[in-house]
Amino acid sequence: MTVRHTLPNGLTLLLEPEAGAQTVAAGYFVATGARDERPEEMGASHFLEHLMFKGSEGLDAATLNERLDELGGHANAFTSEEATVYHAATLPEQTPELLDTLTELLRPALRPGDIEPERGVILEEIAMYAEQPAVRVMDELRADYWGKHPLGHAVLGTPETVGALSREALERHWRERYGADRVTLAVVGAFDPGRVLAWAQEELKGWPAGTPPAGAAPARPLAPGTVRTLHDDRLTRAQVALALPGLPATHPLREAAVVLAELIGGENGLLYWALLDTGLSDSADLAHLDYRDGGTFEGGFSCDPGRAQAVLDAYRAVLETAPGALTEAAVRRAARKLAVGTLLRAETPQGRLFALGMEALALGQALSTAELVDRAARVTLRDVREVLELCPLTRPTVVALGPLANLR
């Protein structure tokens, strides 16, 4: 059972002890990401995530990272469009060290001497991903699909924006976006919730307030149905990505959208039998992504450049004929797969931690594993067809990359 507490400063605690657990996992889930950035400061959220590991006023980088290593478990962080997460796991007897170290992590010194070396690390990361066709084409797709809307921002930023970020801009981002009312601390596993609550009431009471979130622009695609070809003769394969409107995280048919994506783009989905089993392409997929106020179906394929138009036509045909290809039995299998996957991830405190924290950010409430499993398992064919009525899989936005003629 999850116990939720809100401290006087607005910081949220989600405490979920598990009697049979042998480890404890904790994470700070911060409701800020790439969509909160100004266009000229794209990449600030990810840059700041890196700088957290460079130490606080009380700990230098080496000491902080030694403390993370001493926990013995996996410690890491990630940045997305709407969230930045810092997490770690350890043995129950090290719960105080786990909480103290993660909290120190979120009090960055932002020393000028740390910023320039880390800028170089991030620029190398951007260059590395730019050499990966699947990543490159997806970044281009999202820019086309969302236009100037901040959901089209590259999470890593660009060489130009990252190169121009000043310490003042990063410090302002931390001060404004890491306020107590945007922060959720989740703890799962073998721990004493009373002790953790008492610790939080004392240690986190001084967490400063940030700036209230500004009203976000509606998450609407820019120009559905466009097709753009990026020519790159250095590549030997065609990489094609597609996007279509989906549902927001709070929609009651959210799980049905995930089931629909699995039926079409999963390991045994319609795209597999139409494109991979026939030898037309070497990969093909479709997934559903959701945000606070919008969602997308995103997918794509890789193939021989000479077949790219034929594969794109076949991919579109699968999307257009999907409503007639769905059956009760297929929906039942895909829903069960989603439910079982949820259960498997929840078998460890660290796996459960992510579901608990991310669902709380997305929905504003903490759903139990049983509730998440039930929501997945009760998806019906009628639900999936209702998703198709709300989100017709026609006129996808397309970006193609490779040694190609223009696709249509």
Q: What average pLDDT does range 75-98 have in this prediction?
A: 96
Q: Are 100 and 45 part of one and the same domain?
A: yes
pLDDT at 382 over 80: yes
Judgement on whether residues 239 and 285 belong to the same structural domain of the protein: yes
92 with 187, same domain: the answer is yes
- Asked if 232 and 188 sit in the same domain, the reply is no
Helix or strand or coil: residue 301? strand
Q: Which domain holds residue 398?
A: 227-402
Residue 148 pLDDT level (bands cut at 50, 70, 90): confident
pLDDT at residue 156 in the model: 96
Asked if 152 contacts 146 with a C-beta cutoff of 8 angstroms, the reply is yes
pLDDT, mean over the chain? 95
| Same structural domain, 193 and 243 | no
Work out whether the CA dihedral 121, 126, 130, 135 comes out positive or negative.
Answer: positive
pLDDT band at 214 (very low <50, low <70, confident <90, very high): low
More confident residue, 50 or 147: 50
Neighbours of 269 (CB within 10 A): 23
Phi then psi for 323, rounded to 5 degrees?
A: -55, -35
| Residue 93 domain flag | yes
Taking only the tens place, the pLDDT of each residue in 347-367 is: 999 999 999 999 999 998 899
Distance CA 352, CA 344 (A): 9
Same domain for 108 and 145, yes or no, is yes
8 A C-beta contact, residue 145 and residue 113: no
pLDDT higher at 46 or 1: 46
Q: Name the CA radius of gyration of the chain, rounded.
A: 22
Among 186, 197, 184, 183, residue whose Cα is nearest residue 24? 186
| pLDDT mean over 77-101 | 97
pLDDT grade, residue 224 (50/70/90)? confident
**Is residue 243 a part of any domain in this protein?**
yes
Half-sphere exposure of 91 (CA within 13 A, CB side): 6
- Indicate whether 193 pLDDT > 90: yes
The answer to whether residue 165 is domain-embedded is yes
CA distance 29 to 187: 11
Q: Please report whether residue 178 resides in a domain.
A: yes
Q: Percentage of the chain with pLDDT > 70?
A: 98
State the total domains in the chain.
2
Whether residues 382 and 272 fall in one domain = yes
- Residue 294 domain-assigned (yes or no): yes
Q: What is the mean pLDDT of residues 136-157?
A: 93
Same domain, 278 and 197: no
Compute, in degrees rounded to 10, the torsion defined by CA atoms 395, 397, 403, 408.
30
Query: What pLDDT score does 218 carry?
Result: 66
Question: Residue 222 above 80 pLDDT?
Answer: no
Q: Domain for residue 210, yes or no?
A: no
Q: Do residues 243 and 148 both lie within one domain?
A: no
- Tell me what the mean pLDDT of segment 267-288 comes to: 96
Residue 31 has pLDDT above 80, yes or no: yes
What distance in Å separates the CA atoms of residue 47 and residue 183, rounded to the nearest whole number? 18
Q: Could you tell me if 168 and 23 lie in one domain?
A: yes
Query: Is residue 189 assigned to a domain?
Result: yes
User: Last residue of some domain: 203, 236, 255?
Assistant: 203
Task: Give the CATH number, domain containing residue 24.
Answer: 3.30.830.10
**Top-confidence residue, 147 or 254:** 254
Bridge partners of residue 88, in order along the sequence: 26
158 and 9 share one domain? yes
Query: Which stretches within 94-166 are classed as H helix?
Result: 95-105, 112-130, 133-146, 159-164
**What angle separates helix 328-345 from helix 381-390, to the nearest 10 degrees?**
90
Residues 112 and 66 in one domain: yes
pLDDT at position 217: 65
User: 345 in a domain, yes or no?
Assistant: yes
Q: What is the pLDDT of residue 215?
A: 60
Q: Is residue 124's pLDDT more than 80? A: yes
- pTM value is 0.94
Contact status, residue 303 vs residue 311, Cβ threshold 8 Å: yes
Distances (CA, A) of 170 to 47, 56, 152: 8, 15, 21
